Amino acid sequence: MSARKQLLLKKHRRAKRIALLVALLALLVVGVTLAWWLVPLLLVLGWVAHEAWFADHLFYRGSDDYQYAFPDDAASQAVSIVGGRVRLSGELAEGETLVLALRVRHGWLGRWLDPFVEVGDDRQDFERGVNGLRYLNLSGQRERLASGELALRGRRCRLAGEGELHVMRNPDYSRQRTLILAPHADDAELAAFGYYSRCADVAIVTLTQGEIEAEAYQRLGLSQAAAARLKGRLRSWDTLAVPLWGGVPASHCVQLGYYCLQLPQMAAQPMQAFGSRESGESDIRSVRQHNPLLLPGDQDGAPTWHNLVADLVALLEHYRPEVVITPHPELDPHADHVATTQAIVQAIALSSCKPDTALFYANHLHDNDRWPMGPAGMGIALPPAIEALPADRLWSPLLDQAQQLDKAMALGMQHDLQGPLPLKRRLRRWLQHWLAGRRWPASGENEFFRKAVRRHELFWVRRIGS
């Protein structure tokens, strides 16, 4: 977790503690001045209200504007919303990725139920209490937009009468040789299953075993260390087996076997070995036996940053990618994700292979744990960006229903996304279903089945070639 995310979480928890203290004092006053039996009743009602409406981790205000800038080659034009349809101010610029900047203001119901915007046959949700500049993803709606037939309607919110359309033009990067960097098993599927399932020449490299937090396997009678080793083996197997569902053979999948949440420490001390926090292992070769090629780290098996960068250099030389897909260095705060992109940047600098393009993805956010908001199968609006990001071009390819179903099944094969929800989360979900109108897909209980299986995938495009 990044320092900024830790600071936001600390402020959030402090605010909750203050609110809880105020509530307890109010309950004490009620119990003394009115009736004691009101205290347990109000406690239960307060807990229900919290779980239904106030349990989201949103570390910003609904009135904050999202801060986005786009590159100079992105065409921008004014649009108006007339009679519930988007009207262009001129001819629609060329480009397949369409982003509409529009002010959205919640209605009274939008403080209690998620406000959303119907975009033709799509739906894109925003945070409760929204009252600021937001960015709708109109990719896939070009024909309707150009003909003046694209309907736009706010539900539990009101839309400004004017906005700005940003049009970005990209090649189909999936037609180019691609290397996907996944910090953990399932990151490639979450971010880019649709991409790699139609890419003819792609390799997927997973950096860590993902062995920590293996309490579920201790129920099998295993010690913490044995459970972590089993989880690491299972998730390493996932990284080699699951991509085949999307047409990627094991010969194009590599598991590097470094240890979960140790990448930042490795980066800080490049020659120091950092073994697993939980499994007791410190030899990365334990999960490398099925890799399609030998790598520099196979010589001594030491989990060092020096070996990691050398491994990535060798993989660049072997697969010769034109496109690298890796976590967004400014937007995705997970410490292993940040370190993954840092490692591939260093490797490119040392390699004779210089990919032309980086496609960045964000499986986690600083500010909003629910993004993409709304139900599965819908579009992906741009995420909160309360602090300005680099002016990258966006690319948002579409997934049809068959591809979405295949993506959901690929996630279902991931061991870390299986298993029932804890009781607390199950109760919260039940309350949010009935009181806040939220819905979850039947494909799986993990939150990523809702967040990742969408009609869009979303990438930030940055030139990295020499």
In a domain, residue 420? The reply is: no
Mean pLDDT over 164-186 rounds to: 98
Residue 190, H or E segment: helix 187-197
Instruction: Return the minimum-mean-pLDDT range out of 49-53, 130-134, 221-225, 358-362.
Output: 49-53
pLDDT at 31: 64
Residue 294 has pLDDT above 80, yes or no: yes
Select from 102, 101, 80, 81 the least CA-distant residue to 89.
80
Mean pLDDT over 104-111 rounds to: 95
pLDDT at 43: 75
In a domain, residue 33? The reply is: yes
HSE-CB for 414 with a 13 A CA cutoff: 25
Select from 153, 111, 113, 106 the least CA-distant residue to 131.
106
To the nearest 10°, report the CA torsion of 156, 331, 196, 402: -10
Domain boundary among 331, 346, 364: 364
In a domain, residue 402? The reply is: no
pLDDT at 35: 66
* Dihedrals phi, psi of 420, to nearest 5 degrees: -75, 160
Answer yes or no: do 181 and 41 share one domain.
no
In a domain, residue 450? The reply is: no
pLDDT at 59: 85
Q: How much is the pTM?
A: 0.93
Domain count, the chain: 2
CB 362 within 8 A of CB 210: no
pLDDT at 182: 98
pLDDT at 34: 67
Listed in sequence order, the residues at least 6 apart from 90 whose beta carbon sits closer than 8 Å to its beta carbon are: 77
**Can you give the residue range of the structural domain that contains 302?**
173-364
pLDDT at 183: 98
Mean pLDDT over 194-206 rounds to: 98
Mean pLDDT over 276-301 rounds to: 97
User: What's the pLDDT tens digit per position in 224-271?
Assistant: 999 999 999 999 999 999 999 999 999 999 999 999 999 999 999 999
Select from 302, 173, 295, 291 the least CA-distant residue to 239.
291
Where residue 189 falls among pLDDT bands split at 50, 70, 90?
Answer: very high
In a domain, residue 49? The reply is: yes
Tell me which DSSP letter residue 371 carries: P
What is the percentage of the chain residues whose pLDDT exceeds 70? Answer: 92
Q: Which CATH number characterizes residue 288's domain?
A: 3.40.50
pLDDT at 209: 97
Instruction: Return the minimum-mean-pLDDT range out of 50-64, 178-192, 290-304.
Output: 50-64
In a domain, residue 30? The reply is: yes
Give the C-alpha separation, 169 to 189, whole Å.
25
pLDDT at 1: 45
In a domain, residue 376? The reply is: no
In a domain, residue 286? The reply is: yes
Listed in sequence order, the residues at least 6 apart from 388 whose beta carbon sits closer than 8 Å to its beta carbon are: 67, 68, 69
Of the chain, the end-to-end C-alpha distance in Å amounts to 31
Domain boundary among 364, 390, 410: 364
User: What's the pLDDT tens digit per position in 389-412?
Assistant: 999 999 999 999 999 999 999 999
Listed in sequence order, the residues at least 6 apart from 413 whose beta carbon sits closer than 8 Å to its beta carbon are: 238, 241, 242, 245
User: What's the pLDDT tens digit per position in 7-49?
Assistant: 666 765 676 667 667 666 665 666 667 666 666 777 778 878 8
Length of the chain in residues, anyone? 466
